[in-house]
Amino acid sequence: MRNYFLGARNTWTLGLLISLAVLCIFWISTGNSVIGGVSKSNDDGAGASHNVMHMLNEVQRINDTMFVCSESFEDTRAYIQNRPKDDYNDLPIIYFVTPTYPRREQIPELIRLGQTLMHVPQIHWIVADDYDGCNNFLDVNRFGIPYTHIASPMPDAYRSISPSPRGVANRRAALNWLRQNNKKTGILYFGDDDNTFDLRLFNEIRDTKKVSMFPVGLIGLYAVSSPVVKNGKVIGFFDSWPAKRKWPVDMAGFAVNLEYLSQHPNATMPYRAGYEEDAFLRSISLRMNEIETKANNCTEILVWHTQTQKSKAPMVRIDSQYLESEKSNLGALFRELESMGVSHQSDSAGIKAQISKDGKSKPFTFFFR
């Protein structure tokens, strides 16, 4: 009889633990009142309740899996951009994080990206693969640059969520690798394997003091996501999907100084598609007046969210008066997009454009009176 009651009690306890785990995962995935441990109502960027952040981080940490497949800290390139490798020794290292996952385009896209990075000095490429084991086809060593190849599969609990939070486990693994290896100097940048990068971008982000930002082309209904800059300062964000995000930016649209990141040891991003950037920037307590603008005051495109698909260039409705050069960066930015056939501006037709600030969309008259 005693064994029967012990077995029943153990079964009841196990059931309770499973129910609590499922409830926690559901809470995280839906983000009813919290985005990645940061309250939606927090507009000052200082973060939400420490207890909530701690609890969510603990639950998510249980599900994270990461192991290093291979890595090399040796740069075997003799020359970079027609100069001896040693000419660049004084430059800060850029830790370039690329989440990837098995698909038919994976290898060619990594080859294309790797051959771009071959021209970048002082770089360490962290390739984090959403795979249960070490994918031998990912021969990152072939490019001669320092690298780390990580296997970082998405936890099974999140694979059934739609839309799937792809890339989150990979980026979280890279953040863990940086902490485990005590990397506190250099620049962190998240660069997807299907993006296209102008080599000038790497020169610009290398002197980031805290957080720098810049436009990303081919994003959303506007075909661009960018900070709005007035008199050299960021005043809002031009992004077609504000979604109550304090920081409506693309993952490829910002860089972070590792010394600044190290001051926020709990910085992370949630398993919630679309809110990874917002929650990560909230978790490092970023403030608007700390943003450093790059790409000629955000008037140029130095990174593109290219994908292996064909899309029609959108028409974006913005009154021409707001595109005058003295008002903001948007005029020069749209002239460049127009000349390349990426996006078109109209006074009367197309998708009505707005600027967002603190998670709220506002008309252009709010910023330019």
Span 197-208, mean pLDDT?
98
Span 131-160, mean pLDDT?
93
Secondary element (H or E) of residue 257: strand 254-257
Q: What is the DSSP track for 109-172?
A: HHHHHHHHHTT-SSEEEEEEE-SSS--TT--GGGG-S-EEEEE-PPPHHHHTSSS--TTHHHHH
pLDDT of residue 38: 36
The residue that leads in pLDDT, 37 or 264, is 264
Residue of 71, 109, 276, 277 marked catalytic: 277
φ, ψ of residue 177 to 5 degrees: the values are: -65, -40
Question: 3-state DSSP helix/strand/coil percent for the chain, to nearest 5?
Answer: 35, 20, 45
Work out the pLDDT band at 33, boundaries 50, 70, 90. very low
The CA angle 131-135-139, to the nearest 5 degrees, is 135
Residue 233: which residues within 8 A CB-CB, separation 6 or more? 289, 293
Residue 128: which residues within 8 A CB-CB, separation 6 or more? 66, 97, 98, 99, 100, 150, 151, 152, 169, 170, 171, 173, 174
| pTM of the predicted model as reported, rounded to 2 decimal places | 0.81
Q: Is the pLDDT of residue 11 over 80?
A: no
| pLDDT above 90: percentage of residues in the chain | 75
- Nearest C-alpha neighbor of 33 from the set 255, 355, 272: 272
User: For the segment 236-247, what is each residue's pLDDT rounded down to a tens digit?
Assistant: 999 999 999 999
Is 194 labelled as part of a ligand binding site? yes
Q: Where are the domains of the chain?
A: 27-308
pLDDT of residue 340: 86
The yes/no answer on whether domain 27-308 falls in CATH 3.30.70.140 is no
Span 307-320, mean pLDDT?
89
Q: What is the DSSP track for 266-296?
A: T----S-TT-HHHHHHHHTT--GGGEEE-HH
Q: What gap in Å lies between CA 286 and CA 203, rounded to an integer?
A: 23
277 is catalytic: yes
Beta pairing partners, 238:
226
